[in-house]
Chains A and B, each alone.
Chain A
């Protein structure tokens, strides 16, 4: 079984630009979650998508957005990049939706904003 795949592995952008990160969940998983892991700050919940709909979002500004496609893959967009957006962005998928289903994480995309 293929795991969660994320692309690109690394992304370097300059302040003010836009970044697009992609994620393919495990086959059969309909829920996709995005987390930001900045250095020393643990995992911060960004977005949750299920069945093509945004179900919940964390305390991040609107310039963090995304979508889920009919094949359940997902895309995270970050507009007007700021230096503090530099972090590892982790995508995870789960088999069941809602409360507390174990998450399967991808290897992440390391975003560097200069």
Chain B
């Protein structure tokens, strides 16, 4: 079945440093979604990328979708303590049908800690 892998599993940074997490799927994705889960909280939808090579920005966050639609990245510039949490990527396989229909597969997440 489809697998979505994220690296790194953990990332510790000093406040002000940049941070990047990478997401790789074993199958082509129809779209990629990113979620953030604060400690003790629930995942919150951040953004969705649909087009091959798409880049979107949200303030200090930059999201990219690979040309082959099998990988994605999230880059945070000048991290702040409010960025602490686990970042998940998730995606349905392209042309999803049958057993994959409606199933959004999540990566294991990258846990980001920021030291002030």
The minimal Cβ–Cβ distance linking B90 to chain A, given in whole angstroms, is 8
- In this complex, the interface size class of chain A, counting residues with CB under 8 Å from chain B, is 20 to 34
Give the CA-CA distance A100 to B92 in the complex, in Å: 6
Q: Are A56 and B103 in contact (CB under 8 A)?
A: yes
Residues of chain A with a CB closer than 8 A to B101's CB: 55-56, 98-99
Give the CA-CA distance A104 to B35 in the complex, in Å: 10
- Pairs A–B under 8 Å by Cβ, sample size 17: A42-B107, A42-B108, A42-B109, A45-B103, A45-B105, A45-B106, A50-B102, A55-B101, A56-B99, A56-B102, A56-B103, A99-B102, A100-B30, A100-B91, A103-B35, A104-B45, A105-B42
Q: Are B99 and A43 in contact (CB under 8 A)?
A: no
Q: Which residues of chain A (43-63) have a CB below 8 Å from chain B?
A: 43, 45, 48, 50, 55-56, 58-59
Give the CA-CA distance A86 to B74 in the complex, in Å: 31
Q: Are B102 and A55 in contact (CB under 8 A)?
A: yes
- In this complex, the interface size class of chain B, counting residues with CB under 8 Å from chain A, is 20 to 34
Q: Are A48 and B41 in contact (CB under 8 A)?
A: no
The minimal Cβ–Cβ distance linking B88 to chain A, given in whole angstroms, is 7
Residues of chain B with a CB closer than 8 A to A97's CB: 102
| A78 contacts chain B at the CB level, 8 A cutoff | no
* CB nearest to B95 among chain A residues: A99
| Contact status of A31 and B104, CB under 8 A, knowing A99-B92, A100-B48, A105-B44 | no
Give the CA-CA distance A98 to B103 in the complex, in Å: 8
Q: 8 smallest A-B Cβ distances: which pairs?
A: A42-B108, A43-B106, A105-B42, A100-B92, A48-B102, A102-B45, A100-B31, A99-B92
Q: Which residues of chain B (36-85) have a CB below 8 Å from chain A?
A: 41-45, 48
| A90 contacts chain B at the CB level, 8 A cutoff | yes
Q: Are A43 and B45 in contact (CB under 8 A)?
A: no
* CB nearest to A92 among chain B residues: B43
